Chains A and B, each alone.
Chain A
Amino acid sequence: MSRIAGCFADLAARGRTALIPFVTAGDPDLATTVPLMHAMVAAGADLIELGVPFSDPMADGPVIQRASERALAHHTRLRDVLDMVRKFRERDAATPVILMGYLNPIEILGYAAFAAQASAAGVDGILVVDAPPEESGELVTSLRQAGIDLVYLLAPTSDEARIRTIGAVASGFVYYVSVKGVTGAGHLDLADVDAKLAEIRRLIPLPVGVGFGIKDAETAARVARMADAVIVGSAIVGRIEALTMKPEHIPAAIGDFLAGLRAAIDGADRA
């Protein structure tokens, strides 16, 4: 069983919803990311999504675009991101780490080389925003051979046929994008999300995480009542941005914010 599957099985056994924070690797600098990852785990994160910076993040809103630009300003490369995961693993062998990004930095490295390096670094899953199943056959093969889960997005526009297509290749969990829009977009309609999750669960036997538009503890709690995982990105990255000049304060500040989300999610799980 993969580290991601094991993590969700354990949470399910305890009746808990996963909290998955997203941060961009190398934002605001290379030194902050690993201490931040540990602080997030201490505050109640169950899995971590680590964004790989890309020059042209076409699915991201302004907050995560700016995080990518900050990380690229001091040349955070894919190999630096893998080094961060390797360093994180020195102290944390349990928390699954998922890399989230765009295909081109992986493409230029080569799928097989990337899969081998990511696996050696301790990466558990990959989410490539611009590689739908139709275009990721070779990538799937390479990652499977390396024991890495390939996490896919599902969207409000995904119909039954597409949900089945994705279900046939996804592993670990699937990520439901709760709004039509980019990361950090407006408010999600919880009734719509609930209905779509029911359809996804009927067609895909994997845990379902929900993200895009979860900005506060109240929304996190409400999403926790329907999803297996609550994914929070822009709300965290926005707080990192506010502390760019004081990076030493970032791990504690993000830890406090996540602790609030954790308490709200736990409250929802007990209800």
Chain B
Amino acid sequence: MAINHAEAGSEAQGQTQSAAQSGAQAKVQSVTQSEDQTAAPSEAYHWPDARGHFGPYGGLFVPETLMRPLDELTRAYARYLQDPDFLAELDADLRDYVGRPSPIYHAERWSRELGGAQIFLKREDLNHTGAHKVNNTIGQALLAKRMGKTRIIAETGAGQHGVASATVAARLGLECVVYMGEIDVARQEANVYRMRLLGAQVVAVKSGSRTLKDALNEAMRDWVTNVDNTFYIIGTVAGPHPYPAMVRDFQAVIGREARAQMLERLGRLPDALVACVGGGSNAIGLFYPFLEDAGVELIGVEAAGEGLASGHHAAPLCAGRPGVLHGSRTYLMEDSDGQIIETHSISAGLDYPGVGPEHAWLKDSGRARYVAVTDEEALAAFHTLTRTEGIIPALESSHALAQVAKLAPTLRKDQAILVNLSGRGDKDMHTVAAREGLTL
């Protein structure tokens, strides 16, 4: 899993700090500018530190009972990261079971209609189970097996991570329990049924706001109780160390492939990467192998729900403040007393009050920029891609597409945007139909 920067050559070295310093002012620029050797030498991106911190973010904010199990996980992960057998098994599974590499698709018709930059889609929607989530569950489940754990637990919001966890558990013959907020169980019936078909037990969580954050609380409670035989597969780059780094590394296959594919296709890197951010795993997976390519602008797109001003949104990076939740310090949606507040997004997968701590750090350091798009904008992009390219995107990914629709016309036709099409929209048929007054 070592991140391979071979394609970058030496020109990408020494760019991270200057990128961080130039910060939010960094304009989209061509890759030739990023090869400028006059930039001050700087150290390579090295986060997190040994204790799981990304600057002031991340860390290990968990009850004492979990400290030793997390330490064991950190050590096991570090060991298998260097184990050729483990890496070979992971690569084979990603190829033969997930269907990787996923292609890059040039959305020519949409690009032409927008009249600006060329738009390329990284097709994570074509993965087995229909989203990027499986890249991570494959990796963590193989780790669970090597660690001798016989039981898998997971939290899920929209159900995609639950399905991806139940899928790998079925394949490896592991017991699987998925925690899902009672409200999400009701609005994602089809995925609940898929998980049950795969042999998982789906537990409807009735506490708190009965959504993803409460499912995560309940999974943590299960883990504290059954820590000896149980492996907790967290579905995003949130939670205590080592999860944010580990999930990032498993998802970074997206960016490694995309980087090589763009170099092969265009002979250069794209000018901007765009990805939606809930917890932020598909975004980090795409961004991470490009962090030292200073000429590539990184744009994360949060859910503005009914608008940031309405308060009904799920955009902690754009409109929240730092705090501690679910094992790490990061940007949160919270009230003035430090209570976590309920979020809103049309997309269940973005409906989460926190965000991966590495995104908090990339925001503060200026290496990535975060924006938010509303439910309406995401829906419009959903319909546009469906009608223009014959690809039905997930509502989560539609947030990234909505930002692309804003960005592309501001760029030249010889510039390129790469957007992570993190999942397919089949699961969202009922939600979209209901918005239009239809019942399926």
Q: Which residues of A contact B (CB under 8 A)?
A: 54-62, 65-66, 69, 72, 75, 77-79, 102-109, 129-132, 134-135, 152-159, 162, 166, 177, 180-182, 185
- Tell me the minimal C-beta distance from A14 to chain B in angstroms: 30
4 extra interface residue pairs, beta carbon distance < 8 Å, beyond A59-B221, A155-B67, A157-B68: A56-B340, A60-B221, A108-B338, A180-B227
Residues from chain B with Cβ under 8 Å of A60 in the complex: 221
Residues from chain A with Cβ under 8 Å of B334 in the complex: 104, 108
Name which of B35-43, B57-65, B143-151, B255-263 contacts chain A.
Answer: B57-65
Q: Judging by beta carbons under 8 Å apart, are B324 and A109 in contact?
A: no
- Cα separation A58 to B324 with both chains bound (whole Å): 12
Residues from chain B with Cβ under 8 Å of A56 in the complex: 208, 213-214, 217, 325-326, 340
Q: Judging by beta carbons under 8 Å apart, are A132 and B64 in contact?
A: yes
Residues from chain A with Cβ under 8 Å of B225 in the complex: 180-182, 185
A72 with B339: in contact, given A61-B221, A135-B59 (CB under 8 Å)?
Answer: yes
A59 with B338: in contact, given A134-B51, A157-B227, A180-B227 (CB under 8 Å)?
Answer: no
- Tell me the minimal C-beta distance from B16 to chain A in angstroms: 26
Q: Judging by beta carbons under 8 Å apart, are A158 and B68 in contact?
A: yes
Q: Judging by beta carbons under 8 Å apart, are B63 and A130 in contact?
A: yes
B23 at interface (Cβ–Cβ under 8 A)? no
- Cα separation A185 to B225 with both chains bound (whole Å): 8
Residues from chain A with Cβ under 8 Å of B329 in the complex: 107
For chain B residues 57-87, which have a beta carbon within 8 Å of chain A?
59-69
B409 at interface (Cβ–Cβ under 8 A)? no
Residues from chain A with Cβ under 8 Å of B68 in the complex: 157-159, 162
B286 at interface (Cβ–Cβ under 8 A)? no
* Residue of B62, B63, B68 most packed against chain A (CB within 10 A): B63
Question: Of all chain B residues, which has the CB nearest A159?
Answer: B68
Residues from chain B with Cβ under 8 Å of A79 in the complex: 337
Q: Judging by beta carbons under 8 Å apart, are B65 and A156 in contact?
A: yes
B224 at interface (Cβ–Cβ under 8 A)? yes
Residues from chain A with Cβ under 8 Å of B339 in the complex: 54-55, 72, 104-105
- Cα separation A249 to B67 with both chains bound (whole Å): 41
For chain B residues 342-391, which have a beta carbon within 8 Å of chain A?
none
User: Mask for B198-229, Cβ within 8 A of A = 1, else 0?
Assistant: 00000000011000011011001100111110
Residues from chain B with Cβ under 8 Å of A158 in the complex: 64, 67-68
B327 at interface (Cβ–Cβ under 8 A)? yes
- Tell me the minimal C-beta distance from A52 to chain B in angstroms: 10
Q: Judging by beta carbons under 8 Å apart, are B207 and A62 in contact?
A: yes
- Tell me the minimal C-beta distance from B14 to chain A in angstroms: 32
- Cα separation A162 to B69 with both chains bound (whole Å): 12
Chain B contact patch, size range: 35 or more
B323 at interface (Cβ–Cβ under 8 A)? yes
- Cα separation A154 to B329 with both chains bound (whole Å): 22
B32 at interface (Cβ–Cβ under 8 A)? no
- Cα separation A185 to B216 with both chains bound (whole Å): 19
B336 at interface (Cβ–Cβ under 8 A)? yes
- Tell me the minimal C-beta distance from B40 to chain A in angstroms: 32
Question: Of all chain A residues, which has the CB nearest B354?
Answer: A56
Residues from chain A with Cβ under 8 Å of B59 in the complex: 134-135
10 residue pairs of the A-B complex, CB under 8 angstroms, read: A55-B340, A59-B63, A103-B61, A104-B338, A130-B62, A153-B64, A158-B67, A181-B225, A182-B221, A185-B225
Q: Judging by beta carbons under 8 Å apart, are B67 and A104 in contact?
A: no
Question: Of all chain A residues, which has the CB nearest B51?
Answer: A134
The 7 closest A-B pairs by CB, nearest first: A105-B338, A108-B338, A155-B65, A181-B225, A153-B64, A59-B63, A104-B338
- Cα separation A153 to B68 with both chains bound (whole Å): 13
Q: Judging by beta carbons under 8 Å apart, are B220 and A58 in contact?
A: yes
- Cα separation A189 to B208 with both chains bound (whole Å): 31
- Tell me the minimal C-beta distance from B307 to chain A in angstroms: 23
- Cα separation A19 to B48 with both chains bound (whole Å): 43
- Cα separation A72 to B228 with both chains bound (whole Å): 34
Q: Judging by beta carbons under 8 Å apart, are A157 and B337 in contact?
A: no
- Cα separation A61 to B208 with both chains bound (whole Å): 13
A107 with B323: in contact, given A62-B207, A180-B227 (CB under 8 Å)?
Answer: yes
Residues from chain A with Cβ under 8 Å of B213 in the complex: 56
Q: Judging by beta carbons under 8 Å apart, are B63 and A153 in contact?
A: yes
For chain B residues 208-256, which have a beta carbon within 8 Å of chain A?
208, 213-214, 216-217, 220-221, 224-228
Question: Of all chain B residues, which has the CB nearest A80?
Answer: B337
Question: Of all chain A residues, which has the CB nearest B340?
Answer: A55
Q: Judging by beta carbons under 8 Å apart, are A78 and B338 in contact?
A: yes
- Cα separation A132 to B214 with both chains bound (whole Å): 22
For chain B residues 21-51, which have a beta carbon within 8 Å of chain A?
51
Residues from chain A with Cβ under 8 Å of B216 in the complex: 58
Q: Judging by beta carbons under 8 Å apart, are B324 and A130 in contact?
A: yes
Q: Judging by beta carbons under 8 Å apart, are B61 and A108 in contact?
A: no
Question: Of all chain B residues, which has the CB nearest A154?
Answer: B64
- Tell me the minimal C-beta distance from B222 to chain A in angstroms: 9
- Cα separation A78 to B336 with both chains bound (whole Å): 11
A106 partner, pick from B51, B326, B338, beta carbons under 8 A: B338
- Cα separation A59 to B218 with both chains bound (whole Å): 9
Q: Judging by beta carbons under 8 Å apart, are B208 and A55 in contact?
A: yes
